[in-house]
């Protein structure tokens, strides 16, 4: 195995917000640098107090914070940490946001609402970020909201390696990859092509934040396939997964694997998924921390720490990270 070029631990500072210190520790461990301390507490009036625990002057600073629940609190904390690093004289300030939840607010689809994804992209730059890394944005156009260098990474290689080990030659002829809607089809096609599988999409209508309807499948017929792999960017309420699973089962699928980058699993999502016995596997990543009570026996959580760690390493060494991009066409 080729040895990775080491980084200068005196020139790099890695800090974690309170959203996901375990992932930040994994990234720091991959880079071979310490995870520095961060002090976060609240005043009696509920105002946040944040202090970075090591000098950042003239150094490259990487701040890891997922916008997981409570997303707005974690966002404010991140903005404060960016502002602290800039004000303390950091040479570079990198916002590492594994889960950019506000990417779902990417268009004005109702009167008098905010395109919040764009607003937050502006706030990150105003707060002091010189560069952003994130993963699996909800739609490609969100990348265009950022006017500072931004790298949208993908966990696809992790999923491909995992399923390569599980799929035998015969199983491939019985397996199809299914995207919940046409918006996720391109990503699903890339994933499927890496495994030598066909891919189709559902025709989804969102009725509310918690309810969706998928009436039919678009593309290759699903009949004749025993196993389906539902491939999505995020599972929150589980509405899309439930609706699509029922349609697949109606069409003769008996074994379903669910794959998503961001396993948010809000509300009764886990219970709803657990109630469908044909869903035999859930594969997600740790962009969002999954608490023990939400970890089902057939759930596999893959760490994205090596993906972010490698992207940070290459960025620091001024090397290309193109093959780690979310919309890269292999």
**DSSP per-residue string spanning 232-249:** EEEESS-HHHHHHHHHHH
Residue 2, domain member (yes or no): no
**Domain assignment present for 4:** no
Hey, how many other C-beta atoms are within 10 angstroms of the C-beta on 255?
A: 17
One domain, residues 16 and 110: yes
| pLDDT band (50, 70, 90) for residue 330 | very low
Please check whether residue 164 lies inside any domain of the structure. Answer: yes
> Residues with Cβ < 8 Å from 275, sequence gap 6 or more?
none
Q: Between 277 and 203, name the one with better pLDDT.
A: 277
Helix (H, G, I), strand (E, B) or coil at 15: strand
Whether residue 70 is contained in a domain is answered as yes
Average of per-residue pLDDT values in the chain:
91
**295 in the same domain as 210:** yes
Confidence label for 326 from pLDDT (cuts 50, 70 and 90) = low
Domain total of the chain: 2
Domain that holds residue 255: 156-302
Q: Is residue 41 part of a domain?
A: yes
Domain of 131: which CATH number? 3.40.50.2020
One-character DSSP codes across 50-70: EEESS--TTSEEEEE----SS
CB 26 within 8 A of CB 305: yes
For tokens 């946040």, the residue is 48
**Would you state the pLDDT for residue 1?**
47
The DSSP output letter for 69 is S
Residues serving a catalytic function are 204
Cβ pair 288, 264 in contact under 8 A? yes
Q: Are residues 207 and 75 in the same domain?
A: no
pLDDT at residue number 202? 81
Per-residue model confidence as pLDDT tens digits over 104-116: 888 888 899 999 9
Does residue 204 surpass a pLDDT of 60? yes
Assess whether 136 and 242 both reside in one domain. no
């Amino acid at each position: 195995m080729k040895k990775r070029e080491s980084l200068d631990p005196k020139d790099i500072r890695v800090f974690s917000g309170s959203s996901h210190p375990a992932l930040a520790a994994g990234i720091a461990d991959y880079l071979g640098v310490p995870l520095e301390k961060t002090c976060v507490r609240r005043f009696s009036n509920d105002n946040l107090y944040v202090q970075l625990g090591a000098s950042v002057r003239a150094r490259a600073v990487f701040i890891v914070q997922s916008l997981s629940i409570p997303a707005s609190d974690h966002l404010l904390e991140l903005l404060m940490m960016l502002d602290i690093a800039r004000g303390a004289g950091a040479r570079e300030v990198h916002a590492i946001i594994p889960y950019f939840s506000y990417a779902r607010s990417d268009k004005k689809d109702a009167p008098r609402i905010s395109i919040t994804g764009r607003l937050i992209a502006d706030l990150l730059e105003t707060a002091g970020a010189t560069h952003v890394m994130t993963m699996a944005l909800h739609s490609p156009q969100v990348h265009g909201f950022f006017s500072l260098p931004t790298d949208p990474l993908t966990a696809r290689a992790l999923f491909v390696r995992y399923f390569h080990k599980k799929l035998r030659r015969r199983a491939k002829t019985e397996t199809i990859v299914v995207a919940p809607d046409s918006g996720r089809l391109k990503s699903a096609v890339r994933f499927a092509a890496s495994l030598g599988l066909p891919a189709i999409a559902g025709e989804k209508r969102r009725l509310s934040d918690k309810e969706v309807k998928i009436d039919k499948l678009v593309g290759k017929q699903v009949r004749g396939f025993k196993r389906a792999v539902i491939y999505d960017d995020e599972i929150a309420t589980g509405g899309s997964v439930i609706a699509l699973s029922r349609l697949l089962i109606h069409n003769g699928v008996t074994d379903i694997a669910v794959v998503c980058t961001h396993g948010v699993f809000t509300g009764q999502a886990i219970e709803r998924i657990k109630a469908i016995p044909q869903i035999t596997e859930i594969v997600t990543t740790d962009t969002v921390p999954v608490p023990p009570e939400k970890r089902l026996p057939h759930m596999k959580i893959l760490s994205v720490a090596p993906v972010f760690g490698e992207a940070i390493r290459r960025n620091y060494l001024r090397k290309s990270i193109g093959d780690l991009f979310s919309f890269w066409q292999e």
